[in-house]
Amino acid sequence: MKSHLRSRTNQLFLRVGCLALLSSCGLQSIPQAKNEVDATIAEVTNQYKRRADLIPNLVATVQGYASHEKDTLTAVIEARAKASSITIDPSNMSAEKLADFQKAQGNLSQALGRLMVVSENYPQLKADRNFSELQAQLEGTENRITVSRNRHIEAIKFFNNQVTVPMTSWTNSLVYHYQPLPQWNVDAAEEKIIQSAPKVDFGTKK
C-alpha cells in the first residue's frame, strides 16, 4: 500500500516537473509570443486603415472651404495612396519591408499635420460640424495607433527574447527555428505628429 502511494506521489512530482520544464524551456511560450506579435500587428494595421478611411471625407470637407490649397490636399491624397499600397505580412517580415511601411505611414502623418495647420486659417471650416467630427475621429485614431504600436513593440521585444535568450532559445533552435523580428521604429517627425494629434475645440472655451 505504501509503495503504491509512493509510486503515485513520484508520478505526480514527475508530471509537475515536466510541466515546469516545458513551460521554462519555451515549448509553449514561444508560439504564444508569436501569436501575440501577429495579433498586435493586425491591430496596428487596422488602426492605420481606419485613419486612411477617414481621409477622403476629410479632404472633401476641407476642399469645400479651401479649394485653392491644392498642393496640401494633393499631398494628403498621394500620401494616402502610397500608404495604402504598402502592406506588411507578419509571416514574411523583413527590416526593409517594415521600413518602407513605416516611411509611407510617416509621410501620411506629416501630410495630415500640414492639412491641420492649413485648416487653422479658415474659421468657417473649423466651425463646420462635419469637419469637427472628422477631427475628433482622427484624433482618436491617432491615439489608438500610438497605443497599438506600443503594444506591438513590447510583443516583438518579448518574442525576440524568447528566441535569442537561453533556455527558450535552445528550444527555438531545436523545434521552431524562428528568427528575431525587426523592431518597430518611429522617426522623430512622425512621433511629433502623433503626439500632437489634432485637438478638437467644441467652443466650450470662452
Residue pLDDT, tens place only, 110-140: 999 999 999 999 999 989 999 999 999 999 9
Grid cell digits, residue 142: 491617432
Q: What is the mean pLDDT of residues 11-34?
A: 67
Quote the mean pLDDT of the chain: 84
Is the pTM for the entire model greater than 0.85? no
What would you report as the CA-atom Rg of the chain, rounded to the nearest whole angstrom? 25
Alpha-helix residue ranges (DSSP H) falling in the chain: 2-25, 29-65, 70-85, 95-119, 123-127, 129-164, 168-171, 188-195
Residue pLDDT, tens place only, 152-165: 999 999 999 999 99
Peptide bond before residue 167 is cis, with ω within 30 degrees of 0: yes
- Count CB neighbours of 32 within 10 A: 12
Predicted pLDDT of residue 189: 52
Q: Select the more confidently predicted residue: 8 or 43.
A: 43
Predicted pLDDT of residue 191: 58
Residues contacting residue 201 through CB under 8 Å, at least 6 positions apart: 126
